[in-house]
Structure 1
Amino acid sequence: MLAAAAKTETTLVVEPHVDPARWTTAEDVAAIAAELNAAALRAADAGVTIGYHNHQFELETKIGGRPALEVFADHLADGVALEVDTYWVVVGGVEVPDLLGRLGERVRAVHLKDGDGSRDTKKQVAFGSGDLDVAAILAASAGVDLGVVELDDTTGDVFDAVQGSYDYLVKALS
């Protein structure tokens, strides 16, 4: 992985998924963080930052009354980043601006998606044309290094949705 990152000059490598069954206890969440911390130590010498990408289950699962993702963040070394998928935060029942505020500078990237806020990925649409409060999401994401337009799926043409997302973002950010 590090050789590929170096060859492509990639500076952020993100773990895209950890089995939901591993997010149910404080001990399991701490173990996941320890694994990423160890990977981050190895990657740092190559100039690569290691990160983690969330889904809804890391927010739905509560540990001590807090979303498991936040408990996880407490165990991460300073050099480990988070890539927050804003759509799945909403599906997980958490307000995106509040979460981004609590996670702070650890958030290096956000996935910008829109839709009806359900688990049905076919209902995802161009950013700015769905039901999510995208203005609040953009405002809360202001200090983040990287914004990524993403659709897990859609019933329409994915390229039209990407173009619509781009058009919305150009207007909203100008």
Structure 2
Amino acid sequence: MKKAFKITSLDYAILGLIHQEPLSGYGIRKQFETTALGNYSSSPGAVYPALNRLQKFNLVTKSRLPEQKKEKFHCTSLGLNTLKEWLLLPVEITDVAKRNDELLLKFAFMHKLLHKNQVLEFLQSFKIQLQLYIAELKEFHKREGAHLPLHGRLAFEHGLASYSATLTWCKSTISTIRNHQKK
């Protein structure tokens, strides 16, 4: 029986990067070291096994052009379809609560892969789920805030402010993309 392959957020990050530009394993590691993708390990012990998995399941391939010194990884059509399917998954409240960084990673890779209406739909869904989650957090704070230890309450308030800032960003981004669409 063939073992099912579970794609990780690292795998999606790699697919998104090499969709934008074919990269060597070292080039992928450098992206993780020098960009906002730094929360992913740039360790050869993480990147190369992920690349091997992606190759094994025909999501990426590698080749070398005559003028290139290193082989570079490219998305296969299956890899591209897999990436698009991930981007189109509906936003759930648990994504907002536990995988906010992954939602922003998705958004970053949507630019040449999805139609603007699909991007706006994602952002609208993100906004709605943020509003629902913030309402839950505010209700908890109202009910339990006075009972929390000072530092616990202040840390909770930081989280609430962070989600509120993300909501403000989401609303602004929707407006920016809509206005850009009119041009």
- Same fold judged by TM-score > 0.5? no
- Greater percentage in strand: 1
TM-score by length of 2: 0.28
Which of the pair has more CA radius of gyration?
Answer: 2
- Greater percentage in helix: 2
TM-score by length of 1: 0.29
